[in-house]
Amino acid sequence: MENISRKTFLGMMGAFALQDAPRGFAADVLESSEVRKIHKHIEDHQPEHVAKIQEFLRQPSVSSWNLGIRECAEMLRGYFQKMGCREAELVKTDGLPGVWAWYDAGAPKTISHYMMYDIQPFEEKRWSSPPLAANLVKMAPFGQVVMARGAINSKGPIRAFLNACESIIAVTGKLPVNIMFTCDGEEEQGSPHFHQVLEPYHNRLKTCQAHLTPSPSQNRDGNVAMALGNKGIAYVEMECHGARWGRGPQKMPIHSSRKAILDSPAWRLLKALSSMVSPDGNKILIDHYYDAIVPPTAEEEMLVKQLIEKFGDRVFASERQNVKAWSNNWSTAEAIRHLCFDTTLNINGIWSGYTGPGSATILPEKAAVKLDSRLVPNQVIDQQIALMRKHLDQHGFSDIEMRKLGGGDEWSRTSVKAPVVQAVLSVYKKYGIEPAIWPRSAGSSPQAQYTRPPLNLPACGGGLGHGGRAHSDDEYFVIEGNEKVGGLVKCEQSMVDILYAYARWAGA
């Protein structure tokens, strides 16, 4: 969805502490001989597992270049078939294909699992190892890593999960849960057609008990932040153009001396935008913009209280070098609350006219801005966008064009009490990690397509392991690991643990 991925975002929140022990969990499952055998199988087959990750990473799947997408989808379908899925098929959309697969273990529980198999573009010459070579390289302090576009976001973790599943099947004959896989080939484009991948399977997905996507979630210090949902995001682009306005330059920039007798679309856009926020840029002045917001739930308040008490300023540790003061000089406690519960109106970018070095003397014929608004319960993307439109119209800016960008991720929420969450927490506990639990991420994700009607699935992710530089050069996924950060073996083992913990969870 977003150019800074959810994964990167979660990394920004790195912090940890000890959580209350999950209740009702049959802890001995994770120490059972069955699980131990599977862990041993993973250890014994690491070279093959690494090779499978490399194979998947070497298949290009750059959605914005339409490079290798279909081939990658076919490769993924092949993996599902080989794993023993009863169904594995490409799903047509108005864009690039999705993939659906169903693994039927005959188990009492079924989980929904999300995968994105497309990757960001790359500029090969900027990489220290070619982005499609998927070479194993040494990287301090992690030891060996696999370096490739998609290494951590998200083809490395996808293949690691399939490796974990294959090890379970090799040892026990079948998975402890049934899995419905839904896979997106346009995530890096904002998942514009992913609803078309899900819709044909809604009735099937409704039979799941949870949406569970194990994935490496440690930051570089081994800490974990867990968000029980996310904010929604309304992303729009507005453009003021002389031609639609009927004033100022109509077709192209004009000599800036003409400002004496011509109106300026750039000044107009600034005035329109300025009318939308308070002088400090923080309070949204669009009528009714806050009306849909409901107070935090008791559970959300409890979680925030715990975050503040147990983690405090450590939740912002990785951001401190880029931040001096929060808005209104809020304390850490206030900042945590506002980050969880506030809607926003942000300028991602604004541009008009000449922006190069030195001077050019033009009166530009147009000006544009990219705005995003993070949404909290019960704000709805299209309703908030409609309020923006109404604001423009009522303030005399009806000529300013506004268009929605992105697929439109609504806010999502899962209770900490959900068995799927408790199962993941139990696995962190086993490894001595207590994640910082946020009631929601301040960012956004497509998770609401699973957690809200019609599917209403509780959702959770997590697991050991680490990777970084998603969307950047030299993207990596840790293979070796160190005492703080799990390598591929620990990553896959924790995925096994999560499946078993959820499958055997007494309360589930």
Token pair for residue 473? 């050069």
Query: Quick one: which of 233, 237, 242, 286 has its CA closest to 402?
Result: 237
Query: Quick one: which of 65, 220, 45, 219 has its CA closest to 132?
Result: 65
Find the binder of a second copy among 116, 198, 233, 448 (CB under 8 A). 233
Q: Name the pairing type of β-strands 110-116 and 210-214.
A: parallel
Helix 33-44 × helix 488-503 angle, to 10°: 150
Report 57-76 residues binding a second copy (CB under 8 A): none
Tokens 């800490």 -> residue:
223
Number of residues that bind a second copy (CB under 8 A): 86
Are 210 and 459 contacting, i.e. CB atoms less than 8 angstroms apart? yes
Provide the mask over 242-261, with x wherever binding to a second copy is found by CB under 8 A and - wherever it is not: x---xx-xxxx-xxxxxxxx
DSSP output for 410-469: PPEE--TTSHHHHHHHHHHHHTT--BEEESSBSS--TTHHHHSTTT---EEEE-S--EE-
- Dihedral angle computed from the Cα positions of residues 419, 420, 425 and 431, in that order, rounded to the nearest 10 degrees: 120
- 37 HSE (CA, 13 A, CB side): 9
Which of 125, 251 has the CB closer to a second copy? 251
Classify residue 477 by its DSSP letter.
Answer: E
Q: Which stretch binds a second copy (CB under 8 A): 29-37, 115-123, 264-272, 497-505?
A: 264-272
Find the binder of a second copy among 47, 106, 349, 432 (CB under 8 A). 349
Which of 363, 498 has the CB closer to a second copy? 363
Smallest distance from a second copy to CB 499, Å:
30
Find the binder of a second copy among 67, 75, 169, 270 (CB under 8 A). 270
Find the binder of a second copy among 50, 85, 367, 448 (CB under 8 A). 367
Which of 46, 256 has the CB closer to a second copy? 256
Which of 195, 259 has the CB closer to a second copy? 259
Report 114-153 residues binding a second copy (CB under 8 A): none
Find the binder of a second copy among 7, 12, 286, 304 (CB under 8 A). 12
For residue 182, state whether it binds a second copy (rule: CB under 8 A). Answer: no
Rounded CA-CA distance 291/32 in Å is 52
Smallest distance from a second copy to CB 134, Å:
27
For residue 9, state whether it binds a second copy (rule: CB under 8 A). Answer: yes
Bridge partners (DSSP) of residue 435 are 16
For residue 268, state whether it binds a second copy (rule: CB under 8 A). Answer: yes
Find the binder of a second copy among 107, 171, 293, 362 (CB under 8 A). 362
Which of 9, 80 has the CB closer to a second copy? 9
Rounded CA-CA distance 489/142 in Å is 13
Rounded CA-CA distance 49/335 in Å is 42
Report 271-330 residues binding a second copy (CB under 8 A): 271, 273-274, 277, 279-282, 319, 321-327, 330
Which of 33, 359 has the CB closer to a second copy? 359
Smallest distance from a second copy to CB 253, Å:
9
Which of 192, 461 has the CB closer to a second copy? 192
Q: Which stretch binds a second copy (CB under 8 A): 167-175, 227-235, 426-434, 474-482?
A: 227-235
Tokens 């739930």 -> residue:
297
Are 424 and 176 contacting, i.e. CB atoms less than 8 angstroms apart? no
Provide the mask over 327-346, with x wherever binding to a second copy is found by CB under 8 A and - wherever it is not: x--x----x--xx--xxxxx
